[in-house]
Structure 1
C-alpha cells in the first residue's frame, strides 16, 4: 500500500497466522489473528486505535498513492465531517481501469435510492463506534449506513472529494454494487427522519424506490397553466389533465394573455362551464412567463402551486399525488418530474448549474428505458434546479422567496433562479422519474412571427443569461448534483474531454495556468506552448492548454468552466479577434480575481504593405488590440519596440524575448555532406515576400557560384535560379528539417520598416542552433549578435556572400561561434525565471 504521505496504518484482520514477514518489521502495518466475529474484532481495534479516520474493506481494494494525502488535505478543511467519500473505478487483473464512478456531492434522495457512496468511503471514529454502525458488516453496508446516519445529524457532515482515489477489483464489483441490507438501512433512516414512506425495489438492480405517502387529508393544489399560441397544445394538455388526475383537491387556473390566439381564447371561454375545477384568468400586460405565473399565484386558492407548461401531456393518474407526497416533506422546496418526447426520449432529467455557461438540461435525448449514468435517469435524486415545465412548490415558500424574478428572468432562467433561492434557504429540490409527462415539440410559427419571436426572445434570453451568471456566479463552479470531471458542454452524462484540468481546484498549491495559443507553429510554440510546457515539466506550475485558435476544435471556456477550474492565470496570445473580445469582456466583468495575461509578438497594426498577412488585419486592428489589452491585467511582448508601441494601451507590460527549447534545438548539427558548390539558403513562412524581394538580383548574380536552397516560401521569380525548394513542415519536424538543409551560409533579410524593426532575433537563433553562419540585414533585432550585418542593397549582399564562400573555413567557424552564443544565452531553460515573473501576478 504505497502512499505519498505516511499518515496511515494498515491493519489486517484474519483467522489465519500472518504469512508475510513485512508486517513484523513495519510500523505502518499490523496483522491481527482473531477468532472473534469480524464486526466485534474491528470495533475493538478501532476503539484502541489513535487514528481518527477509518476505511474498512475486504482484501484486494486498491487505494491511489495520493489517497491519504488528498483526503487528509480535504478533511483539514472540513473539521465537522463524519464521512468522506471519493470517486472510484474498476481495475482488472491486468491493471486496466474502467467504469469511473464520478459521484455527486451528498444527494440524499439519490442516496436513499442507491448506495452510491460505494467503496471509496472513510468514516470518523465516533461514527464507526456508534452501535448502529459497528454492528454492520464492513464494506458497502457499513459505508451506506454511516452516510445515512451522518446526514441525519447535518448534511454538511457528509463530504465528497471529486478525485478517483479508490480502485475496486473486478472480483469485488458486485460486493460494492448491492447490499442486502439496503431496504432495512433506508427504512430505519426514514423512520428516524420522521418521513412517512415505503421502501420498494427500484427499477434497477440494487436500487430502491421511496414511495412517499400523502396525509389523510391531502393539501389543495392550484395547477397554473399559461395558454400560449397553440390550440392543439392547450386543448390536449387540459383534456389529459382533467381526465387523468385522480388527486382529490385541486383547481386549474388557465391564463390567457396578450399573445393568446383567438382560437385558444374561444376554447378557454367554454372551459369553466364544462368543468368546475377550471378557472380562466386574463392577463393583459406584456407577455412574461415570470409575471404571468406570479399574477396567477396571487389568485390561487391552493396551499401548493403546480406550474405546468401548456405543451405537456399527463400520462399517469397518480402523477399529482406522487409530486405532492414528495413536496410535503419538511425540507423539500420544489418537486419536479421527468419530461419525455412522444418518441420516448428524455427531454428533462434535471438541470445542471454551469452547463452551457449558465444552466442547462442533462441526459437529453436518452431513450426512456436507458438507466443513464450511475442509473441517474431512473432514480429519484436532488438537483440544484429542475425545469419550470412542471414544478410543485408550496405557495408560502414561493412568495417568501419573492416568486419568479420578473425583471431579470421574464422568459428564461426563472425556474432555476427560484430553485436556487429556495436552496439558499436550505430547502431541497427533488426530481423524480416516477412521475413522467410527455412534452410536445414546437411546430413552426409563420415565418414573420417566428422571426419576430426569435429576435425578441434571443435578446431577452441574452440579458437573462448575463443576469443569471452575475447573480449565481459562486454556485456555477460546482453543482453538488454533478461532478467537476463531467462535461459542461455535452447534454449527455459524459466525462469532460474538453476542459478537465489536471489539478484539483481546491487542493493544488502550485500556480495554475490556462492558456490558448494562436497556433501550433512558430508563434504558438515560442510564445506560449514551449514556455508553459517547460515550466510545467520543471514543476513550477500546473497548466492546461486549450485547443489553439487555428484548430477546428477551438473554444474559449465558459465563465462557469473557469470558475470550476480555479486557475491562477488565464494566458492568451494575439487574442483580439471577434472570437475573443466578447469573452474577454465577460471574464473581466465576472472573474476579476483570475489574472489575465495578453501576449503579443508583433506590431500587428503596422503590417508591411507587401506582407501576405496584411489582408487578415483590418483598419480597426489597433482599436481591437487596445480593447483586448484593456481587459487584461498584463501584456507580455517579445521586444522593447513592441512594448513602446503599446505603452499607451496598458500600464503593466513586460518584455520576455524569444528563446529555444533545448530538447528541440540543443543537439542538432548539419550533416556536412559532400557538395559541388557551397549551399546558401533561407527558411521562413509565406508572409515574407517583401523581405525576399530585394534578394532577387543577389540570387541571380550568384546562382552559378552557389546552390540556393529555400524552405517554406520561395517567390516564383527566384525559382529558375534555385537549386532546391523544400516545403514547410510541422513544427515538431522543423528543427531537424532546418538542420538537414545542410547550409554553408544562411541569410536573414528584412525590409526596413516599423514592423520589422520591432521583430525579435528568432531567425538568427534558429540558424545558429543548427550551426549555420548568417548574413543579415543591418536592423535593430539583429544587432549584438555574432553575424555579418549588411545594408539592404544588392551589391553589399553579393560582396558579403562572396567573402564568405571564398573562405569556407572561416565561415564554418563563424557558424560554430553563433551556435555557442545561442546555446549559452538563448535557451528556454535559462529564462524560466523571466517567464514566471511575467506570467504570475506580483
Structure 2
C-alpha cells in the first residue's frame, strides 16, 4: 500500500446506499496504470482502461483523474458491501476460477440495481503476477462470460459505441460497424466477411455493395473475422461468411448461432484444397469430414455451380446454387486494345495455387514461342521464363479489372488440371476475360455455362497447339470471338437487379 488513507477513499463511495462495488486505481511498481476500471467487450472479452498510461498522465477527458461509474472494476483491489456480496452469492469459482470472476461479480451487483464505482483517489501498487493461466481454462472463462453477459459486453454504458473494441479509446476504424444514425432500422443489416480481395471474396463483397446501392440492405463489409462481441454490438439480421473451414471458423459460426438471432449463410466459392492437389493439405476424406462438421451450424450454404452443390449434398441439407456474376462497375466499362503487335499476344492469368494449370502448357509455350508473344500475369517457373515475352506480378482487389484489361491480349488460355476443385469451380475467370474482349480457349473439364462462346479443348499438347494455331491463323475470326464473348457476358452475366434478388432471398430468408 502506498497511501495511508486508501481505504477511506474507497469507503467514501462504499457507504453510499446506492453503491455496491468500489474499485481502486491500481499501478505497477514502475508507476504505470494497470487497472483504472474495466471496459466490457474490449479485446473480445473485457480489458483494463489505459493499461499502458503513466499514472500521472490524464487521458481521454480526464478519466484517470475522475470518480466515475463503470460496469466492472478490477478484483485486484475492490470493496463490496457485504449485503450485496451475499445477495449476488459472491464470486462464481466454478465458471470463473481464475479469470473474469471480478467482472462477473460486478455485473451481478449491477444487475441487482447497485452502482459500480471507480475512484482514482484510492491508489494501490501491484507486483506483476507470475501465474500462468491455462489457455483452455481461459477460453472456457471467455465463453462463459459471453454466455452470461454478452449484452453488457456489447453495449457497455461506460464506453462510447463509436470507439474500437480492439484498442481502448480509439475511434472505430470501420465506421460501418458504429455508424447507426437512426434509432430504427429501415433496412435489414447484413454483415459480410469475404475470405479475400480476389474473385472468390468479391463474389459476396460485390453483391453486398450492389444490394446497398439498390437500398435493399444496410451492409457492413469486413475482411477480418469479427469477434462475437462486435457481431452482437452490430446485431445484424444476417451474417455471410467465407473462409477456410477450421476450428476458429467453426467456433465463430457456433458462437453467432448460440448468442445472436442472426441468420448465418456460409459461401463456398470453390472446393477446398486436398492432398491429391496440394501435398500440404489434408486427405480428401478428411476434408469432406471437415466440411460436414464445419458447415453443420450454418443455416444455408451457397455455392456457384451445380457440380459443387453435388459434392456437398451429404454435408448440409440446405445448399443453394447462386452463380457468380460480374458487378457492372467496373467490368462493364473496361477497354482493351487488340492486335497491337506484329505477333498475337497470347496470355495466361492465375495465382500461385494455380501454377499446376500453367504447367499443362509447358510444351505448348515452347513450341509456339516464335509465333506469339507469351504474356503471363501470375507465377511462372524459371525454366519457362526465357519463352515469356511479358511477365507481370499477380494483382488482386480493386486494381485487378484494369490490370487485366491492360494486358491487351488477343487470346487468353485457361488450362485446368483434372481435380475436384477445377471441375466444380465457377467460370468467373472466363467471364472476366470476356468482359475485356479476349477470345478464350479453356480445358473441356471446366464447368462452363451453356451458350458461353469459348473454345474447349482436351488437356493434350497437340489439342492446345491446334486450337491456338486455329485462332492466330485467323485473327479476324479470333477478334470476332472475343467480341462475341464480351457481348454475351454483358447481356447475360452481369450482376443486375433480377439476379440480386436471388442473393437477397438467400441472405434474408426472402
Same fold (TM over 0.5): yes
- Separation of aligned partners in 1, 2:169 and 2:406: 49
- Length-normalised TM-score, structure 1: 0.57
Match of 2:230 among 561, 568, 578: 561
- Which structure 1 segments of 5+ residues have no match? 1-312, 445-452, 548-553
Q: 1:530 to 1:344 in 2, by over 3 A?
A: same
Q: CA deviation at 1:616?
A: 4.6
Q: Distance in 2 between matches of 1:770 and 1:596?
A: 35
Change over 3 Å in CA distance of 1:647–1:393 after alignment to 2: same
Q: 1:585 aligns with which of 230, 251, 254?
A: 254
Equivalent residue for 1:454, pick from 127, 132, 153: 132
Match of 2:205 in 1: 529
Aligned to 1:472: 149
1:357-506 alignment runs, 5 A limit: 357-442=44-129, 444=130, 454=132, 457-490=134-167, 492-497=168-173, 501-504=177-180
Is contact 2:271-2:308 (8 Å) kept? yes
Q: Any idea what the Cα deviations from partners look like across 1:317-337, whole Å, max 9, x if unmatched?
A: 3x3333223222221112222
Judged with a 3 Å threshold, the aligned counterparts in structure 2 of structure 1 residues 820 and 376 are, in CA distance, closer, same or farther, namely same
For residues 330 and 388 of structure 1, the distance between their equivalents in structure 2, rounded to whole angstroms, comes to 21
Of residues 209, 215, 231 in structure 2, which corresponds to 1:539? Answer: 215
Deviation at 1:600, TM superposition (A): 0.9
**What residue is the counterpart of 1:683 in the other structure?**
349
How big is each residue's C-alpha offset from its partner over 1:332-386, in whole Å with a ceiling of 9 and x where there is no partner?
A: 1122222222333222211122223232211223222323212221111111122
Give deviations 1:655-685, integer Å, cap 9, x for gaps: 1212112222212232235422223222222
* Residues in 2 aligned to 1:524 and 1:822: alpha-carbon distance in whole angstroms: 20
Taking structure 1 as reference, are residues 595 and 693 closer, same or farther at Cα in structure 2, changes over 3 Å only? same
Aligned mates of 2:353, 2:50 — CA distance in 1: 48
Indicate the SS of the match to 1:713: coil
| 8 Å Cα contact 2:339/2:410 also seen in 1 | no
Matched residue SS, 1:519: coil
Q: TM-score, normalised by structure 2?
A: 0.91
Find the residue that maps to 2:295 and give its secondary structure. helix
CA distance 1:415–1:788, shift in 2 (3 Å): closer
Pairwise CA RMSD of aligned residues? Answer: 2.5
Q: Is the 8 A contact 2:274 2:282 kept in 1?
A: no
Could you give the per-residue CA deviations for residues 410-461 of structure 1, whole angstroms, max 9, x where no partner exists? 333222222222222211112111222222334x5xxxxxxxx525x54444
Distance 1:722 1:462 in 2: 52
For 2:404, the equivalent position in structure 1 comes to 738
Query: C-alpha offsets along residues 483-524 of structure 1, whole Å, 9 cap, x if unaligned?
Result: 21122222x432233676154295332222223222222322
Which has the higher relative contact order, 1 or 2, with Cα contacts under 8 A spaced 6 or more apart?
2
Aligned to 2:439: 773
Q: 8 Å contact 1:748–1:776 — kept in the other structure?
A: yes
Counterpart check, 1:334 vs 2:21: yes
**CA distance in 2: counterparts of 1:657 and 1:403, whole angstroms:** 56
Equivalent residue number for residue 245 of structure 2: 576
Classify 1:431/1:783 alpha carbon distance in 2 versus 1 (closer, same or farther; 3 Å): closer
**Of 448, 455, 467, which aligns to 1:782?**
448
Preserved contact between residue 575 and residue 628 of structure 1 (Cα < 8 Å): no
| Partner Cα distance (2:370, 2:12) in 1 | 95
Equivalent residue of 2:413, what SS?
strand
Q: 1:516 aligns with which of 180, 193, 198?
A: 193
Give a deviation string over 1:682-704, Cα, whole Å, max 9, x none: 22223333333343333344333
